[in-house]
């Protein structure tokens, strides 16, 4: 995915979307959020070309990473959804205190990034959801619920281990809490409902962990994305040996491994997922190469399950 105008040094903008981590329809195309860049790529899926939606920056810095010595300051946006109003909301992973932040953007309107302690407190205070290390990687709105997906790639901490988990919160309660947090008012607590942990299997001995989720157009189902990444914890990256796309129901998280046109496993770190708005048998998947010099990729993935209609 390349920016139409190329790099713009004055805005600390690279020539490409460099760390795609979440994707959702927003306006006429796709909004790709990035975990190490304070820019949302507004992508035309037909061409892969993007416009840059610049987020607020401190001192004009919008790129973060080990090479720059500022990785600890990145917002780490890992998931995104749209509210019924059409507003875009992106969520920080919560894996460090600097990542308890949320982005809200109205189509053609205001853009805000702010601390969202009410949501992150609710997740951290329930270890059945957060496990040993909180890492919120997926969020999907289905009707009046927002489903949250915790990625189980954390390091053990005391008696706690990493978990893949899901829960849902009231969309109205979440929006009210975000409104209050943004305004600096006291917010009513958010309740996590139906916390469920999942065993997703593995690829070549590396556990699959949730990396994103999206609502299916049927208005009921959830589609999830997973990666088998040999990372030691939520902060450091590792080698990725496979990926999978699956459906989630009340009891099962069934899936199929991602394969290329020749049937070979896709050993890429697949981080963002959205169902095509015109063809529900196809999903768009965003790949993060964990290399800021290499553009993130947008994959079209055809699903062959009978469940997809």
Q: For 149-201, what is each residue's pLDDT tens digit?
A: 999 999 999 999 999 999 999 999 999 999 999 999 999 999 999 999 999 98
Confidence label for 260 from pLDDT (cuts 50, 70 and 90): confident
pLDDT at 249 over 80: no
Distances 231 to 103, 151, 269 between C-alpha atoms, Å: 26, 12, 11
Residue tagged 């899936």 (tokens): 255
Please state the pTM of the whole predicted model.
0.95
| Both structure tokens of 306 | 């009978």
Q: What is the pLDDT of residue 250?
A: 66
Question: How is domain 2-302 classified at the architecture level of CATH?
Answer: 6 Propeller (2.120)
DSSP classification of residue 28: T
| Both structure tokens of 247 | 């459906």
Q: Which of 44-48, 130-134, 277-281 has the lowest mean pLDDT?
A: 277-281
* Cα-to-chain-centroid distance, residue 280: 20
Which run of H or E residues covers position 129? helix 127-130
Q: Are the CB atoms for 40 and 105 separated by under 8 Å?
A: yes
Report the distance separating Cα 52 and Cα 60, nearest Å.
15
| Both structure tokens of 32 | 């790709």
Average pLDDT over residues 32-58: 96
| Both structure tokens of 96 | 């460090």
Q: Are the CB atoms for 255 and 273 separated by under 8 Å?
A: no
Residue tagged 């998947």 (tokens): 285
């Amino acid at each position: 995915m390349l920016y139409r105008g190329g790099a713009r040094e004055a805005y600390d903008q690279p020539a490409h979307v460099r760390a795609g981590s979440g994707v959702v329809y927003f306006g006429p195309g796709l909004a790709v959020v990035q975990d190490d860049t304070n820019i949302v790529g507004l992508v035309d899926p037909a061409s892969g070309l993007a416009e840059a939606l610049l987020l607020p920056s401190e001192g004009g810095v919008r790129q973060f990473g080990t090479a720059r010595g500022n990785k600890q300051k990145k917002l780490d946006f890992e998931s995104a959804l749209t509210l019924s109003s059409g507003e875009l909301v992106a969520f920080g992973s919560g894996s460090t205190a600097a990542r308890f932040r949320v982005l809200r953007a109205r189509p053609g309107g205001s853009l805000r990034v702010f601390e969202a302690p009410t949501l992150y407190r609710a997740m951290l205070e329930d270890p059945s959801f957060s496990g040993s290390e909180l890492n919120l990687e997926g969020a999907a709105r289905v009707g009046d619920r927002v489903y949250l997906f915790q990625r189980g790639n954390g390091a053990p901490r005391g008696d706690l281990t990493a978990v893949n988990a899901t829960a849902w919160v009231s969309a109205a309660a979440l929006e009210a809490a975000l409104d209050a947090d943004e305004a600096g008012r006291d917010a009513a607590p958010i309740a996590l409902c139906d916390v469920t942990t999942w065993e997703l299997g593995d690829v070549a001995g590396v556990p699959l962990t949730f990396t994103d989720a999206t609502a299916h157009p049927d208005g009921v189902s959830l589609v999830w994305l997973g990666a088998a990444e040999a990372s030691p914890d939520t902060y450091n990256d590792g080698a990725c040996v496979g990926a999978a796309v699956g459906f989630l129901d009340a009891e099962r998280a069934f899936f199929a491994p991602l394969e290329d046109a020749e049937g070979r496993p896709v050993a890429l770190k697949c981080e963002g997922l959205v169902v095509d708005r015109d063809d529900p048998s196809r999903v768009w998947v965003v790949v993060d190469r964990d290399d800021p010099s290499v553009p993130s990729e947008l994959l079209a993935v055809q699903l062959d399950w009978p469940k997809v209609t």
